[in-house]
Structures are given as structure tokens and as C-alpha cells.
Structure 1
């Protein structure tokens, strides 16, 4: 087996979403895996001898020194201070599925041991909201069995020869900063802006009227053809070089109309050609989850 391509993966998410399964799967893939390590101990671990293999750390809200701010600081220090290729893997799950899992196992939720698990689930999601927005990789386990989750992690982190290239197409707002880790970034602010049409302002680029408005710009089709042509030329080359992730980002002023339109259209075109494509709309998902804007990261991944 080839050495996994990430040096450090921080694994977190709500209790019951599959963190334990993920840690075990990464260990099987060759990672040195440690679960429930206190955040205050991670710096000491990284200050030690150089890593001789990739490291996966499971992080849980049950740790006494856990906080969203502290977790994100650990991530930034791993990248900046220790120079590691670090990623945040967030395992998400819908509330109803989490409640069902707790009911089936008759376990108590760590944040509501003497109350209804639903109360703890809500508390935990509130604590993790800002962490979720910073996730480099988000996997929704609501409809995944443990076997499915292991397969997905093997695809993402296994580094096996001939692995399929996973393509992420995402939208973002330039006001909130460039998305970290993007391989290609395209500025769509030259296209006509639906924001100035009162009837379209509250909509977004996933809706057909907004898409039609953006596509009506005389420069749209030429731009899209050039971007899609370049993408089709580069993806096979990167796949053949062994790259397993490739991120294409479209930015506009607010990250709501033009960039979303281009993201949706390119993702659909690539998916129809057989590429494994995911979509993230950074600003739309931040707004949907009530997260105050901060620089950088995307949040949700949606399979196309």
C-alpha cells in the first residue's frame, strides 16, 4: 500500500456520527491514529519527533478542554507553526438519524446524560457550528453504514494507485477570503449581477431564474466554454499523476448568485461526463446555519 497522502487529519463531528469508525478506518490505512486526545496535548505531540507516518487525531466535545476556538487554533498551528499538511475532517449527521441511533443503542448523550438525547444533540451542534464551517472534508453519514464510511475514507485517504479523482466545485465570496486549498480559482464578478434585480436579489444561483439572468450575459457562454474546456484537459492529467483531490472555486462579490450559478453548471457538466463531483456553496451554507462570516473555509459537501 502506498503511504497516505495527508500528514495530519483532525477528525471530529457530533457524537454518534461515526468518528470512532473513521479513526479505526484511518488506522487500517496506515495512519497513526489517536482518539480523544485532549487538545492541550496536541501541541506537545507535534513538538516531538518528526512524524514517520501520517497522523489522525479524533477530537470529541467530551474532552474537558474542548472548544471550537481551541480546535481551530490547533489546526492553524499545525499548518503554520509545524508546517504540516493538515486537514479537518468533519463527520456530519442529521438530527433525526442521531436520535434514532441513540434510541437503538440506548446510550446517553454525553452533553445530556440525564436528559433527552435530542437536547444534547442540539447543544453539540451549536458548539460545533463554527468547526463545521472550517471543514476541509465533510462527510454526511446519515445514510452510510460503517462499511460505506470505511469505503469513502479509503477512497479519500487510501492513496491507492489508480484511485478515482474526486472533484470539488465550490462557490465563495471574495469578501470572506479565498477558500484554502483550491487548485483553480475563477473570478466571476465581471458577469451581470442578479443582486441589482429586486425580484432576484433574495434568490441564489441554484434557482433557474437566477441562472438564466447570469447566463444571459453575452460573455457567459464563452467564459464557461473556456473554463470547462480547461478543466476537461487538466483533470485527466492530474488523475494520471496520482492526484486524488482537485478543487475548482468560483468567486463573486457575495457568493450567492454568479459564483453559485457557475458552480452548479460546471459540476453538472462534469458529473454527466462521469467524474466524481461534489458541490459546496460556502456562503449559502454559512447563512443557512446562522454562522457569522469569517475568512476562508467551505462547509458542506453535496454529491452530484
Structure 2
């Protein structure tokens, strides 16, 4: 079976019923192949402000929608419901029929997301985790995967959105879900500005990384060594470097240029990281300065200093090779 990837637009692109999109309950049905990333997708949606229900019997969807708080005169928050072949009463044809009926209502906006993955990759994931496929019934995982793919074929063809996770890491899938669904619950951009030490490894997830090791290192001043980039004497030392002022201006202007464009593309999270050797002086100071500049421009960044508590005399910072 040939795998495919569908780059469908955000959930808000699909209209359902006669009401305005902003007045309707947003309902996202998340399903797909076991092992394709449903749990990861639901966790990201929860971080984005969605109400999440997993392994929900779709036959009870009517009762869920008609709960009393849904009739309080205003639209409820977006709701994502996860289900798969293990869900009690799972019947793709009946699910499609019922969702079609519900989509005719003017107070609902229903979208179905199907997460797919190539069979060979699903086999690898099952072998790697040593989990048994629920439909394999004592046979190899490949047998259960084939049976599941045949069972889910109607849902896959019918779904509004399809994401193929064959080549995706967990972080890749998280990014795709954020990009597709963040704009449907709000336009606010979540910004993190952080500092770190290269000697202790790069941050695992960062959109923009700036290396501050070109600035004069306060570590080599015995008076400044025990201090950090939060202390005024260290800041004065860094500001005195002839390269600092121009570097700060260029980085600030680049970040302020990029952030609105990230927002326009539907990106929900931006992590801006500043690194130096030990993560205590130059990176901390620059992160503080950029965060302040962002606040002055109307943003509300979260500021994190990963290695601020590291010992000043650690070998990576004060080792045999003096790094200026």
C-alpha cells in the first residue's frame, strides 16, 4: 500500500452547517493507526487549550455534545476526541454516518484528523517497544497492522485531514500539530528566551540559537567568575566588548522581524536560545537583554536559564584551553 501525506489547512478552514465558524462548537475527532501518534497529538492539543477526551465511545457523542453546559448561551471551548480500533463499539461505517448527521447542525464544526504511518515503520515501532498489536491475536505484528489498515480504510478515505507520521519523530509531529491547530484557539505566540552552556549540550528544542562565545568571557576575571549574567558587574564587562552593541542590535532586530511572520504562519511556540561556554555569564546577560527588548515591543516572553546554577569552576568553563 502506498503511503501518502496530506498537507491540509488549519481546522478553521472547514465549514459545517449554516452558523458562523466563531459561534460553533469546534469538535476534532482524532483517529488513525495504532502507533501513528494519536496520544502525542492529543497531548499537544491539550497544551494548546483544547479539552481532551481519549478512547471515547463515538456512539455516545450525542450525549456528550448535549451536556447542560453546552446550552449556556455561548460557544464552548474546542474539544478533541480520540478513538481507534480498540474503542468499544468501534465501527467506521457507523461512525461516518453519525458524524455526517451531526455535521448538518449549525452549532457544530466537526473535523476528522487521521494519523497514518507506513506499515514497515509501525512494525519497527512495535518491535522497538516490544508491545503486542491488539489485533494480532498471537500472530506477528504485521498481521494485526494489515487487519487494522483494512478496518480503518473507510475512515482514512473520509477524514478531512491526514498526517503521515512515517518520517516524523515525536518532536516533528508535535510541531505539525501546533502549526495546524494553534491558530484555531488563539493567535497569541508563546515565546521562550533561554540561556545555556554549550559545554553541557545544546537545548533539545530551539527555533533560533545564537552563539555568544565571540564576546569577551567574564570567567577569566577572578572577580567576575563567581558572579553571573544577572549581576551588574558582569553586564558592564560584557557591554564593554566593542562587538556587543552591534550584535545586540542586529539580533534584536532579526527576532522582532521574525516573530510576526512566525505568527502569520500559524506557529504557536518560538524558542530563542543563547549559548556560551558554561551558560552562566554571556548567554544569561544576552537572554535577559533580548527578553527585555521583547517586552518593550509588546511581547510576553518566558525567560529560562538552564545552567545558571552550574559551578563557576567546572572544567568545561575553566579548563586547559582558555576560550575568550
Q: Residue 156 of structure 2 aligns with which residue?
A: 132
1:107 to 126, 131, 146: 131
Q: Which runs of 4+ in 1 moved over 3 A?
A: 160-163, 241-244
Shift of 1:77: 2.9
Shift of 1:243: 9.3
Q: Residue 35 of structure 1 aligns with which residue?
A: 54
Q: Residue 43 of structure 2 aligns with which residue?
A: 24
Partners of 2:265 and 2:175 lie apart in 1 by: 18
Q: Describe the shift of the 1:10–1:81 C-alpha distance in structure 2 as closer, same or farther (beyond 3 A).
A: same
Q: Residue 46 of structure 1 aligns with which residue?
A: 65
Larger radius of gyration: 2
Partners of 2:102 and 2:171 lie apart in 1 by: 30
Q: Residue 100 of structure 2 aligns with which residue?
A: 76
Q: Does 1:96 align with 2:115?
A: no
Q: Does 1:12 align with 2:31?
A: yes
Shift of 1:39: 1.5
Structure 1: unaligned runs, 5 residues or longer: 164-238, 245-304
Partners of 1:21 and 1:112 lie apart in 2 by: 23
1:120 to 141, 144, 149: 144
Q: How does 1:1-304 map to 2 (within 5 A)?
A: 5=12, 7-48=26-67, 49-50=69-70, 52-81=76-105, 83-159=107-183, 161=187
Is the 1:43–1:74 contact (alpha carbons within 8 Å) kept by the matching residues of 2? no
| 2:162 match: secondary structure | strand
Q: Describe the shift of the 1:162–1:44 C-alpha distance in structure 2 as closer, same or farther (beyond 3 A).
A: closer
Partners of 2:172 and 2:113 lie apart in 1 by: 16
Partners of 1:37 and 1:59 lie apart in 2 by: 6
Partners of 2:116 and 2:166 lie apart in 1 by: 8
| 1:130 match: secondary structure | helix
TM-score between both structures, scaled by the size of structure 1? 0.51
Partners of 2:64 and 2:110 lie apart in 1 by: 14
Shift of 1:147: 1.1
Is the 2:179–2:265 contact (alpha carbons within 8 Å) kept by the matching residues of 1? no
| 2:127 match: secondary structure | helix
Shift of 1:37: 0.4
| 1:56 match: secondary structure | strand
